[in-house]
Amino acid sequence: MRFLIMVLTLLLSTAAAADYMRCGNDLVLKGDHVVEVHDKCGDPVRITRLENEFGAVVGKREVYDSAHGSRDHLVTYRDERVIRIERLR
């Protein structure tokens, strides 16, 4: 139990909300379509599907590797639109 609490605390403390994500000279903002994000940033390094209690896919999360040693970003989509951008530490 103690281990589970430590893991959850670590996971929750490793991401910070961001208003945008920079990909080269382009910016990704909330509301951008997944195709726009892929055009600006290329392919993500990891994709996770988000499912509801019935197993239906309701969204996805993608991790983008940052360039030049800056932080990676976690982008959450709902209905193919960006709803959240987080900087990973």
Query: In this predicted model, what pLDDT tens digit does every residue of 6-27 receive, in sequence order?
Result: 544 555 445 567 788 988 889 9
Q: Give me the domain span that covers residue 55.
A: 2-88
User: Whose CA is closest to 41, among 60, 62, 57, 58?
Assistant: 62
Q: Which residues of the chain have pLDDT under 70?
A: 1-16, 67-70
Q: How far is it, in rounded angstroms, from Cα 79 to Cα 61?
A: 12
pTM: 0.76
Phi, psi of 14 (to 5 degrees): -95, 0
- 42's CB contacts (< 8 A; 6+ apart) are 23, 64
Tell me how many domains the chain contains. 1
